[in-house]
A and B are shown apart, each in its own frame.
Chain A
Amino acid sequence: AQSVTQPDIHITVSEGASLELRCNYSYGATPYLFWYVQSPGQGLQLLLKYFSGDTLVQGIKGFEAEFKRSQSSFNLRKPSVHWSDAAEYFCAVDTGGFKTIFGAGTRLFVKA
Chain B
Amino acid sequence: DVKVTQSSRYLVKRTGEKVFLECVQDMDHENMFWYRQDPGLGLRLIYFSYDVKMKEKGDIPEGYSVSREKKERFSLILESASTNQTSMYLCASSLGSGQGAYGYTFGSGTRLTVV
Whether A46 pairs with B105 at a CB distance below 8 angstroms is: yes
Whether B106 pairs with A45 at a CB distance below 8 angstroms is: yes
A28 at the A/B interface (Cβ < 8 Å)?
Answer: no
Which residue on B lies nearest to A94, using beta carbons? B99
Nearest CB on A from B99, distance (A): 4
Contact with A along B71-111 (1 / 0, CB 8 A): 00000000000000000001010000011111111111101
Nearest CB on B from A57, distance (A): 12
Pick the contact of A98: B6, B31, B107 (CB < 8 A). Answer: B31
Pick the contact of B99: A32, A42, A105 (CB < 8 A). Answer: A32
Whether A96 pairs with B98 at a CB distance below 8 angstroms is: yes
Contact with B along A69-112 (1 / 0, CB 8 A): 00000000000000000000010001011111011110000000
Whether A100 pairs with B108 at a CB distance below 8 angstroms is: no
In the complex, which residues of chain A have a beta carbon less than 8 angstroms from the beta carbon of B56? 98
In the complex, which residues of chain B have a beta carbon less than 8 angstroms from the beta carbon of A100? 45, 98-99, 104
In the complex, which residues of chain B have a beta carbon less than 8 angstroms from the beta carbon of A94? 98-100
Q: Which of B16-44 contact A (CB under 8 A)?
A: 31, 40, 42-43
Pick the contact of A44: B45, B48, B90 (CB < 8 A). Answer: B90
In the complex, which residues of chain B have a beta carbon less than 8 angstroms from the beta carbon of A49? 101-103
Whether B107 pairs with A43 at a CB distance below 8 angstroms is: yes
In the complex, which residues of chain A have a beta carbon less than 8 angstroms from the beta carbon of B90? 43-44
Which residue on A lies nearest to B108, using beta carbons? A43
Known: A43-B92, A98-B48, A99-B45; 18 extra A-B contacts, CB below 8 A, are A32-B101, A36-B106, A41-B111, A42-B109, A43-B4, A43-B90, A43-B107, A44-B104, A45-B106, A46-B104, A49-B102, A51-B100, A94-B98, A97-B98, A98-B56, A99-B98, A100-B45, A100-B98
Query: Chain A interface (Cβ within 8 Å of chain B)?
Result: 32, 34, 36, 41-46, 49, 51, 90, 94, 96-100, 102-105
Supply 18 A–B pairs (Cβ within 8 Å), ascending by A. Answer: A36-B104, A43-B90, A43-B108, A43-B109, A44-B106, A49-B101, A49-B102, A51-B100, A94-B99, A97-B98, A98-B50, A98-B98, A99-B45, A100-B98, A100-B99, A102-B42, A102-B43, A103-B42
